[in-house]
A = this chain, B = another copy of it.
Amino acid sequence: MEKNSPIKICIVDDHRLFLDSLKGLVSSISNFNVIEVFNDGDELVTYLKEGNEAPDIVLLDVKMKRMDGIATCAWVKENYPEIKALALSMEVDEDTVLKMLRAGAKGYLLKDIHPNILEHSINEVHTKGFYYTENITSTLLNSIDGKKSHDGVELKEREIEFLKLACSERTYKEIASEMCLSPRTIDNYREILFQKINCKTRIGLVLYAIKEKIVIL
């Protein structure tokens, strides 16, 4: 916990490429020392059981094949309560987040955050004992934040989703239930897209979507 001693870190992730990449990234940050990496939760467990050097912090992938992040986190909390686990996940699933925190995770990060935030959160967890964004969802939404399309037409995520479904023989009613929306809302998406794309029939939507390669046949 001293200021000068580097923070000892382990990384657990079953995506080999990500694991090695992240190891490089974290290692390159001063004061961070990646002492070991593992492809799966039980490898970490085995490593610790053998009495090897314990890390200060574990970066823990949530979804793993053999022993997942939740189980691993729970085991670490039970057997090495001084080790702080920081969850890394691809997406925000409320239920998973809660389970992970209940299992003792000191934070929950999305894998698409900026490296600076990772650095900051590791430091926060190490010094303060925890780090979590006030609202993971809002952080996610902010990072997603819409930008311009190549022909000046800005399409939102949900609009693209609708557009893709419109390029099928589904009726709007079917699209509505597929998107868990009321047919009226679909009506709005249709009208908004008619306006943005400047067309007046569903055929126009389809032609645009294919032309712009939003859907590939």
Residues of A within 8 A of B (CB): 14-22, 24-25, 28, 40, 42-43, 45-46, 49, 65-67, 70-71, 74-75, 90, 99, 102-103, 110-115, 118, 143-144, 146-150, 155, 157, 160, 166-169, 199-204, 206-207, 210-214, 216-217
Q: Which residues of the partner chain B approach A168 to less than 8 Å between Cβ atoms?
A: 203, 207
Q: Which residues of the partner chain B approach A199 to less than 8 Å between Cβ atoms?
A: 169
With A49-B150, A160-B66, A213-B75 known as contacts, the answer to whether A118 contacts B207 (CB < 8 A) is: no
Find out whether the CB atom of A45 lies under 8 angstroms from the CB atom of B203.
Answer: no
Find out whether the CB atom of B49 lies under 8 angstroms from the CB atom of A115.
Answer: no
Find out whether the CB atom of A217 lies under 8 angstroms from the CB atom of B210.
Answer: yes
Minimal Cβ-Cβ distance residue in B for A88: B17
A84 to nearest B CB, angstroms? 18
Q: Which of B17, B20, B74 contacts A213, CB < 8 Å?
A: B74
Find out whether the CB atom of B115 lies under 8 angstroms from the CB atom of A20.
Answer: yes
Assembly stoichiometry (copies): 2
Q: Which residues of the partner chain B approach A144 to less than 8 Å between Cβ atoms?
A: 65
Find out whether the CB atom of B203 lies under 8 angstroms from the CB atom of A112.
Answer: no
Distance between Cα atoms of A163 and B21 in the complex (Å): 33
Find out whether the CB atom of B24 lies under 8 angstroms from the CB atom of A17.
Answer: no
Find out whether the CB atom of A112 lies under 8 angstroms from the CB atom of B169.
Answer: no
Q: Which residues of the partner chain B approach A110 to less than 8 Å between Cβ atoms?
A: 17
Find out whether the CB atom of A42 lies under 8 angstroms from the CB atom of B217.
Answer: no
6 more CB-based (< 8 A) A-B contacts, given A20-B115, A66-B147? A21-B24, A65-B144, A66-B155, A99-B216, A167-B207, A169-B199
Q: Which residues of the partner chain B approach A211 to less than 8 Å between Cβ atoms?
A: 217
Find out whether the CB atom of A112 lies under 8 angstroms from the CB atom of B216.
Answer: no
Distance between Cα atoms of A144 and B66 in the complex (Å): 9
Distance between Cα atoms of A60 and B168 in the complex (Å): 26
